[in-house]
Chain A
Amino acid sequence: MCAFYVVTLMEVLIFSWEYPPRVVGHLADYVRELAAQLVKNKVKAYVVTYHDFLTGGYDEADGISTYRVTNPVKTHIGVLTWVLTLNQEVERAAANIYYDRSGRQISLIDVHDWHFIPAAVTLKKGLGLPFVYSVDSLEEHRSHGANSPFNMAIKSIEWLGMYEAERLIVKSDWMRDEAYRVYKVPLEKVVVVSPKSGGWVKHVLGVYQSLVGGGGVV
């Protein structure tokens, strides 16, 4: 059945706060691999990410269009304020892709982790673009269950993402159960795609296809 998924060319926006060459954890390489695999499957992938020094940069390598934005507010008191002001730049880059590059042909957004969820939500509400929230990690585990106002703020953004997303893609059964335990996200919204499994990209594509209206199979 795999071959049938890719008949319709789809254009997808991918948001990630890390992307090579700026590697913070393992998410950067995962997103890069995802984008590359999508391109191989005839999906047009636009990646919007952060970079301090390659800012304003647009490059197209191996079929992946990458847009790097920087924070217009240089001074910050923490990662929370840093992320929240950066989101408007993500919106700007995404809107420019939507109007100019894609000719309004973007089908959906795939947002990785919490950082750019505010941008995905505004774009959904404003332009009617559905989004997938790909969960790599959750604040619950990163901060070992701490509930300071800072942690609560990040959790509230994760909650917003789960509430507004059409689908959650998580990487393990354990994470699916945790998303349910911490946020009570309806399980029918959650799809487990292990990046270690064979055909994982087809699986991701299947999730995308299900949001675009099920078209594409001839």
Chain B
Amino acid sequence: MGARDLAVMMLSWEFPPRIIGGISPHVYYLSRSLARNGVKVYVVTCDFPGAPSREVVDGVEVFRVDSYKNPSPDFASWVYLMNVNMQKEAAAIVRSVGGGVDVFHAHDWLVADAGIGLKHVFRRPLLVTVHSTEIGRRNGIHFDYERMIHETEAWMTYEAWRVVCCSDYMVGHVRWAFGLPGDKLVMVPNGVNADVYARVGGEDLGGFRLRFALPEEKIVLFVGRLVYEKGVHVLVNAVSKVLSKVNAKFVIVGNGYMKEQLSGLIRGLGLGHKVLFTGFVDDDTLRRLQKCADVSVVPSLFEPFGIVALEAMAAGSPVVVSDTGGLSEIVEHDVTGVKVFADNPESLAWGITKVLLDRGYADWLRNNALKKVHEKYDWDRISQQTKDVYSNVLGEYSKSTWA
């Protein structure tokens, strides 16, 4: 590499202002922090209405490519078609900077084709972060459509020089799902930006809180897509059990295919006045909600990492999480949060009630959690770990022949 900085090209189907799930903030914070730590970062991502096709964001060069806007036969076909454009543009960018990209770093199967193609055309190592898997999202592979995605993920991990996962749980899961050798996997945690919560104003939160709950109601907050794997139906089944002990308002943020079903269930239980579906909210509203929540709940059935728990912890909200996947590692029971049995409304209600009824306990969890966030999940620390992975890979690459 000589005098030039290490240069990485990130491939991601989402990057702010395009935000669909957790990959967008992950790639944003990771790239920004890498750039601060002396890595040249190019991000190639999908276009978004109003966002420029090329800009520099916090030292990161961002390129937004035509994401294929004709109607598509289905989501997976769109992904593959989008990848045609992505790798075409990315290849042109690499050539325009004289081939000055040392590593390609792809995030999930959504950019698998582009990452693999670029790896071979430029003969540079490919790193892959597996944020989630099809077999995990669907709790098994049942249809050809799912199997195709699963096999695309397997192919991507096969082609990768190193596979990064955000939790020890995911390292084990990915190793099992694709039959990978252990030394191909590396764990680098996901991070959270605690500063944004410190900046959220305190004096007006009382008035803000009234938009969601009565003063005498505790706020129980759920943030996530309303899909089966997030276990929001478990929370809905826990509502009346919690209400028998403590007066609370359940605020459910997010959208998803289960929304109608869940709100129907709530109406049927006669709890419409106790559960509020807000839909998708903007960042500022979300952060203020997380700050005023008396407890944040993450009842997932499958959770590769559980960034939403970490965000709640950074916001100073006590957390109750199901003891599964990445959540098990983020939360230490009775120290930084409460862990409950997954898919178990009684257990979940017990955890929520325990936090809501014991102020001292809630504060203890809150303070410990905040400390943990700064210790382990700080982006500068994570980007340094990521940079070390790049360096190790490039060290191996420099000693090997391409075959």
Query: Per-position contact with A for B127-164: 1 when CB-CB < 8 Å, else 0?
Result: 00000000000000000110110011001001000000
Assuming A87-B117, A122-B88, A126-B118, is B148 touching A81 (CB within 8 A)?
Answer: yes
Q: Are A95 and B148 in contact (CB under 8 A)?
A: no
Q: Are B77 and A91 in contact (CB under 8 A)?
A: no
Q: Are B70 and A88 in contact (CB under 8 A)?
A: no
| CB proximity to A under 8 Å, residues B62-119 | 68, 70-74, 76-77, 80-81, 83-84, 87-89, 91-92, 94-95, 113, 116-118
Q: Are A125 and B80 in contact (CB under 8 A)?
A: no
Q: Are B121 and A127 in contact (CB under 8 A)?
A: yes
B257 at interface, CB cutoff 8 A: no
Q: How far apart are B173's CB and chain A's nearest CB, in angstroms?
A: 21
CA distance A87 to B114 in the complex (A): 10
Assuming A80-B80, A91-B117, is B68 touching A75 (CB within 8 A)?
Answer: no
Query: Per-position contact with B for A95-109: 1 when CB-CB < 8 Å, else 0?
Result: 110010000000000
Q: How far apart are A90's CB and chain B's nearest CB, in angstroms?
A: 9
Q: Are A157 and B121 in contact (CB under 8 A)?
A: no
Q: Is the interface of B mostly helix, strand, loop or mixed?
A: helix
Q: Are A95 and B121 in contact (CB under 8 A)?
A: yes
Which chain A residue has the least Cβ–Cβ distance from B144? Answer: A75
Q: Are A126 and B95 in contact (CB under 8 A)?
A: yes
A181 at interface, CB cutoff 8 A: no
Interface size on A, residues (CB 8 A): 35
Assuming A73-B152, A75-B148, A122-B88, is B73 touching A95 (CB within 8 A)?
Answer: no
CA distance A123 to B120 in the complex (A): 10
CA distance A65 to B285 in the complex (A): 62
Q: Is the interface of A mostly helix, strand, loop or mixed?
A: helix
B184 at interface, CB cutoff 8 A: no
A9 at interface, CB cutoff 8 A: no
CA distance A119 to B117 in the complex (A): 8
Which chain B residue has the least Cβ–Cβ distance from A92? Answer: B120
CB-CB < 8 A to B120: which residues of A?
Answer: 88, 91-92, 95-96
CB-CB < 8 A to B94: which residues of A?
Answer: 126
CA distance A119 to B145 in the complex (A): 24
Assuming A99-B123, A125-B91, A126-B91, is B81 touching A84 (CB within 8 A)?
Answer: yes
Q: How far apart are A108's CB and chain B's nearest CB, in angstroms?
A: 16
Q: Are B72 and A153 in contact (CB under 8 A)?
A: yes
A85 at interface, CB cutoff 8 A: yes
CB-CB < 8 A to B212: which residues of A?
Answer: none
Q: How far apart are A105's CB and chain B's nearest CB, in angstroms?
A: 17
Q: Are A77 and B76 in contact (CB under 8 A)?
A: yes
CB-CB < 8 A to B144: which residues of A?
Answer: 75-77
CB-CB < 8 A to A92: which residues of B?
Answer: 116, 120
Assuming A77-B144, A81-B77, A126-B94, is B84 touching A95 (CB within 8 A)?
Answer: no
Query: Per-position contact with B for A62-77: 1 when CB-CB < 8 Å, else 0?
Result: 0000000000111111
CB-CB < 8 A to B158: which residues of A?
Answer: 72
| CB proximity to B under 8 Å, residues A134-180 | 148-150, 152-153, 156-157, 160
Q: How far apart are B117's CB and chain A's nearest CB, in angstroms?
A: 5
Sorted from nearest, which 7 A-B pairs have the closest CB atoms? Answer: A126-B91, A84-B80, A125-B91, A75-B147, A125-B92, A92-B120, A126-B121
30 A-B pairs with CB atoms under 8 Å apart are A72-B151, A73-B151, A74-B151, A75-B144, A76-B144, A76-B148, A81-B77, A81-B80, A84-B81, A85-B113, A87-B113, A88-B120, A91-B120, A91-B121, A96-B120, A99-B402, A118-B84, A118-B87, A125-B92, A126-B92, A126-B94, A126-B121, A148-B73, A149-B70, A149-B72, A149-B73, A149-B77, A150-B73, A152-B70, A156-B68
A122-B91, A126-B118 known, 18 other contacts, Cβ within 8 Å? A72-B158, A73-B148, A73-B152, A77-B76, A77-B145, A78-B73, A81-B77, A85-B80, A85-B113, A87-B117, A88-B117, A96-B120, A122-B87, A123-B91, A126-B94, A126-B95, A150-B73, A160-B84
B binding-site residues for A, Cβ under 8 Å: 68, 70-74, 76-77, 80-81, 83-84, 87-89, 91-92, 94-95, 113, 116-118, 120-123, 144-145, 147-148, 151-152, 155, 158, 402
